[in-house]
Amino acid sequence: MPLDLQRMLDMCRRQQWRVDDLDWSRPPRRFDPQTEQAVVQYFTDMAGIERMAGELFRVQRDTTDDPILREIFDTFVEDERRHAEVARRLAAHYDVRGLRRYALNPHLRTFHPRFVEVLRHVSPDIANVYITCGELLLDVALLRSLDDFVADPTCADAMERINRDESRHIAVDYHMMEYYGSPAYAAIERARPPRDLATSLHAARATARLLWAAGPFFRDVFFRPMDMVDPSGRRLLEAFKRMQLLGRREGIEDRPFTRFLATMQALYERPVVGEVLGPVIARAMGLDPRVIRRLYTEAEAARVRRADMAALAEEALAVKRGIAGDFDVDAELAARRVGTRLWTDRLGQPLARLHGWARRRASRLAQGMKLAQPVATRSSASWKNPP
């Protein structure tokens, strides 16, 4: 059943709340020094992530022609501003000892402006892919796991309110994905005049710079925190499995960006290509190797291909609420620990061995050249201290 946009707008307006509605007077849970620093840093970075989400919704608000959608996205921008402030307040709440000064992760600071630049140059369907994947990763995986890890009433109350907002966001995200995969949107795209070469080159450059920054960003802001708060990796794989399955949805799988991701995934899974170019592919996609490989079965893909998008959104929300969905990640796959190394890390050992071999080879050559010098040219010191 299509999403009732007017009903959604009414809900968005009705469910607004203020940061001070939360009870900030309760004493925070105390952690050991190392855990305290990690928790405060997580919430500091979460504030930055929420601000980026606000940028995405602002782009969607400014590019839609639907007046109701424009108002919905306007409430989403306000939601994300509020979520960023809550995250900032939570960071201050758990900074009990004041062990150090906290700042946004440097890779997040690098990624943010490149992300905003790309939003100005790519089609709105690509922006929608980013926001949908980001919401799934944040809501299905990171926020749930962080809430369980912190296990404190103030955090729990904040996450409950944030999750209520994010449920509306996910419902609209799925609605927009269906629209961007529809024949109606394809017709609109065909009617647009083609971009000039300079604009296309600028967009390609901006996208390449974003993808180069994406790997370190996802590693530090998502994957490493998830390894701490959800060591099994189950929720992380749940989120990425749903992203992958959305890419198999009829209409969506034909979009250029979806085809690019599917091609990279297929190359990564080929035995020879993946073994040789796997690290490069992982860096090009900006993802951890454990979430690039296919996480679903063909039967699941067949079910999703023609499924109702509202039903798929409800499944994602059910998982977010802790209710088992129809396609849980296999326990063995979830338990498999694949390191969170990027291509630079994976190539580090082979490069170190190559560097060591080159140094040894150069040393032997130098020794050989020294021994081969004519006797007359060798100093008296060299006879006292032969090589």
**132, 232, 284 from 276: Cα distances, Å:** 31, 28, 14
pTM, whole model, 2 decimals? Answer: 0.79
Q: Which amino acid is at 366?
A: A
Q: Quick: pLDDT tens for 64-73.
A: 999 999 999 9
What residues contact residue 5 under an 8 Å CB cut-off, 6+ apart? Answer: 66, 68, 69, 72, 175
Model confidence at 1, in pLDDT bands (50, 70, 90)? low
Q: Determine the CATH number of domain 5-261+296-341.
A: 1.10.620
Both tokens assigned to 236 = 């992380």
- Residue 24 pLDDT > 90: yes
* Selected residue with higher pLDDT from 368 and 101: 101
* Residue 365: per-residue pLDDT: 56
The sign of the dihedral angle between the CA atoms of 358, 363, 369, 372 is negative
* Residue 317: per-residue pLDDT: 83
* Residue 358: per-residue pLDDT: 54
* Residue 368: per-residue pLDDT: 57
Instruction: Of 65, 55, 179, 181, give the one whose Cα is nearest residue 119.
Output: 55
Mean pLDDT, the chain, rounded, equals: 84
Q: Which amino acid is at 303?
A: R
Both tokens assigned to 290 = 């454990």
- Angle between helices 106-119 and 197-218 in degrees, nearest 10: 150
Q: Quick: pLDDT tens for 134-190.
A: 888 888 889 999 999 999 999 999 999 999 999 999 999 999 999 998 999 989 888
Instruction: Of 353, 340, 139, 128, give the one whose Cα is nearest residue 251.
Output: 128
Q: What residue spans define the domains of the chain?
A: 5-261+296-341
Model confidence at 374, in pLDDT bands (50, 70, 90)? very low
- Residue 253 pLDDT > 50: yes
Q: Mean pLDDT throughout 336-345?
A: 37
In terms of DSSP H, where are the helices of the chain? 5-14, 33-63, 67-94, 106-119, 124-136, 143-150, 153-180, 183-191, 197-218, 224-229, 234-246, 256-269, 271-285, 298-305, 309-320, 331-335, 343-371, 380-384
**54, 100, 341 from 36: Cα distances, Å:** 27, 11, 25
Instruction: Of 171, 130, 288, give the one whose Cα is nearest residue 219.
Output: 288
SS3 47: helix
Q: Exposure pattern of 31-66 as b/e (b: 16+ CB <10 Å)?
A: beeeebbbbbbbbbbbbbbbbbbbbbbbbbbeebee
Q: In this structure, what DSSP letter does residue 306 have?
A: T
- Residue 51 pLDDT > 80: yes
- Residue 328 pLDDT > 90: no
Question: How far is it, in rounded angstroms, from Cα 334 to Cα 81?
Answer: 33
Q: Quick: pLDDT tens for 255-306.
A: 888 898 899 999 999 988 888 888 888 888 888 888 999 999 999 999 998 8
* Selected residue with higher pLDDT from 220 and 124: 220
Model confidence at 343, in pLDDT bands (50, 70, 90)? very low
Question: How far is it, in rounded angstroms, from Cα 76 to Cα 73?
Answer: 5
Instruction: Of 82, 3, 22, give the one whose Cα is nearest residue 47.
Output: 82
Model confidence at 94, in pLDDT bands (50, 70, 90)? very high
